[in-house]
Amino acid sequence: MGNNNKLFSIILMSLLGLSALLSLLFMISVVSEGLLIVWCYILLGIAAVTAIVFPLITMAQNPKGAKNALIGVVGLILICVIGYMMAGDETHVNYDGTVLADAATSLKSEAGIIASYVLLAGAVGVIIFSEVSKMFK
């Protein structure tokens, strides 16, 4: 495991150094913004692959922890489904008649807002419960 940490540190420093070099070259007008945008897409791809692959490896090594993680994912999906079912599908129109959001867009955005409110209420409730239960211990 120690060699992996050293390897990851070397990769991280290499990506950081290359990013700094590209930024410096952009500032002195050697490279265009198109190259920086492509580099950002490459970094985004690396981050996305890393964020997906390493949790899967960890879940494969610890199946009991994977069960707990899957319970959390199912709960999150359930909250999103409840938000979607509670959302309305009104079409929003501006004063001059231009459509701001059609029915599908309105439904999706309102579902996201409702799910965010439910998650916020749950987080506040857990914080309050945690602090109150500490008072009685």
For residue 48, give Cα distances in angstroms to 34, 37, 41: 21, 16, 10
- Mean pLDDT across the chain: 88
How does pLDDT run across 105-130, given as a tens digit for each residue? 888 999 999 999 999 999 999 999 99
pLDDT at 131: 93
State yes or no: pLDDT of 2 exceeds 60: no
How does pLDDT run across 10-24, given as a tens digit for each residue? 988 999 999 999 999
pLDDT at 75: 92
How does pLDDT run across 44-71, given as a tens digit for each residue? 999 999 998 888 888 888 888 788 888 8
pLDDT at 137: 79
pLDDT at 69: 80
